[in-house]
């Protein structure tokens, strides 16, 4: 999947991109704009987007209300499908965040989390990329879910599920909770309740 990086002014108020981002995408083009706030206003950035030949674009920026919103609205005006990673930018107040998100949504921008983006791109845990490639990445960059998956994997490995528990309607998190309740001796009532809900 093509990645395009950009800065509004390397020596300006936002400065260069953090080294961690550059290290994640060593082969991605870095478009050093000359002060344009909306990345779409830069001819080199527009050329890079068009060269990628994609109709759907995932965007993020330093600030939700300016960096992300300006670009997202420009891309929508050009006919692109746009997904804004709501966890990859920020603002100074909840009001600014909510107003920027409402503005993007009104223009047809999809507001999504990083986890939603990852799962939408992956589509199927059995595929490639699938669980083998995605779970280690999630463990590093989304540790809350990485811990859920690690706990589920441990329960599978040590055989702590009773027959039929793997199909509980609550999925991985439900199985983790079930394991916790079993360890506290409260599993029988909860298991019956979950099975009733799954079958009903």
Q: How far apart are CA 193 and CA 103, in angstroms?
A: 43
Residue 84 pLDDT exceeds 60: yes
Q: What is the pLDDT of residues 128-149, one digit of tens each?
A: 898 888 888 888 888 888 888 7
Write the CA distances from 148 to 65, 118, 173, 175, integer angstroms.
33, 16, 7, 10
Tell me the domains of the chain and their CATH numbers. 5-112 (3.40.50.850), 128-199 (no CATH)
> Residue 15's pLDDT band (boundaries 50, 70, 90)?
confident
Q: Enter the tokens of residue 168.
A: 């509980």
Residue 188 pLDDT exceeds 70: no
- The confidence score (pLDDT) of residue 185 equals 53
Residues 6+ apart with CB under 8 A from 136: none
Q: What is the pLDDT of residues 17-63, one digit of tens each?
A: 999 999 999 999 999 999 999 999 999 999 999 999 999 999 999 99
Counting beta carbons within 10 angstroms of the beta carbon of residue 27, is it exposed (0 to 12), middle (13 to 18) or buried (19 or more)? exposed
Q: What is the mean pLDDT of residues 56-79?
A: 97
3-class DSSP state of 112: strand
To the nearest whole percent, how much of the chain has pLDDT over 70?
A: 76
To the nearest whole percent, how much of the chain has pLDDT over 90?
A: 56
Q: Of these residues, 67, 119, 168, 169, which one is catalytic? A: 67
Q: State yes or no: is 67 an active-site residue.
A: yes
DSSP state of 14: S
- The confidence score (pLDDT) of residue 170 equals 43
Q: How far apart are the first and last CA of the chain?
A: 42
- The confidence score (pLDDT) of residue 137 equals 87
- The confidence score (pLDDT) of residue 147 equals 82
> Residue 125's pLDDT band (boundaries 50, 70, 90)?
confident
Q: Of 86, 81, 82, give the one whose Cα is nearest residue 115.
A: 86
Instruction: Considering only residues 185 and 147, tell me which one the structure prediction assigns the higher pLDDT.
Output: 147
Mean pLDDT, the chain, integer: 82
| Tally of CB atoms within 10 A around 195 | 15
Counting beta carbons within 10 angstroms of the beta carbon of residue 8, is it exposed (0 to 12), middle (13 to 18) or buried (19 or more)? buried
- The confidence score (pLDDT) of residue 163 equals 55
Residue 190 pLDDT exceeds 50: no
């Amino acid at each position: 999947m093509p990645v395009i990086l950009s800065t509004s002014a390397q020596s300006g108020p936002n400065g260069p991109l953090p080294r961690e981002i550059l290290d994640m995408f060593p082969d991605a083009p870095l478009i050093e704009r000359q002060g344009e706030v909306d990345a779409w206003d830069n001819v080199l950035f527009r050329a890079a987007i068009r060269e990628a030949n994609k109709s759907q674009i995932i965007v993020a920026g330093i600030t939700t209300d300016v960096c992300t919103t300006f670009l997202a609205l420009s891309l929508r005006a050009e006919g692109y499908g746009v997904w804004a990673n709501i966890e990859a930018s920020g603002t100074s107040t909840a009001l600014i965040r909510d107003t920027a998100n409402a503005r993007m949504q009104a223009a047809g921008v999809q507001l999504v989390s990083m986890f939603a983006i990852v799962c939408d791109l992956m589509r199927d845990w059995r595929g490639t990329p699938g669980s083998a490639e995605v779970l280690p990445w999630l463990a590093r960059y989304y540790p809350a879910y990485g811990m859920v998956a690690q706990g589920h994997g441990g329960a599978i490995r040590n055989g702590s599920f009773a027959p039929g528990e793997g199909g509980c309607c609550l999925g991985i998190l439900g199985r983790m909770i079930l394991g916790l309740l079993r360890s506290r001796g409260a599993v029988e009532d909860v298991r019956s309740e979950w099975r009733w809900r799954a079958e009903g």
